[in-house]
Amino acid sequence: MPPNPTELREPVLAWFAEHARDLPWRSADRTPWGVLVSEVMLQQTPVVRVEPAWRAWMARWPAPADLAAASTADVLRAWDRLGYPRRALRLQECARAVVERHGGVVPSSEPELLALPGVGSYTAAAVLAFAYGRRSVVLDTNVRRVLARTVDGVALPAPSQTVGEVRRATRYVPDDHATAARWAAASMELGALVCTARAPRCDACPVQDVCAWFAAGRPADEHAGRRKVQGFTGTDRQVRGRVMALLRDALGPVPAAAVDAVWPDARQLARCVDALVADGLVTRDPAVSDDDPPTYRLPT
Catalytic residues, which ones? 39
3-class DSSP state of 13: helix
C-alpha–C-alpha distance, residues 222 and 176, integer Å: 35
Q: Report DSSP letters for 159-194, one per residue.
A: SS--HHHHHHHHHTS-SSHHHHHHHHHHHHHHHHHT
3-class DSSP state of 234: coil
Q: How many CB atoms lie under 10 A from the CB of residue 94?
A: 24
CB 23 within 8 A of CB 41: no
CB 232 within 8 A of CB 238: yes
C-alpha–C-alpha distance, residues 147 and 165, integer Å: 9
C-alpha–C-alpha distance, residues 240 and 251, integer Å: 19
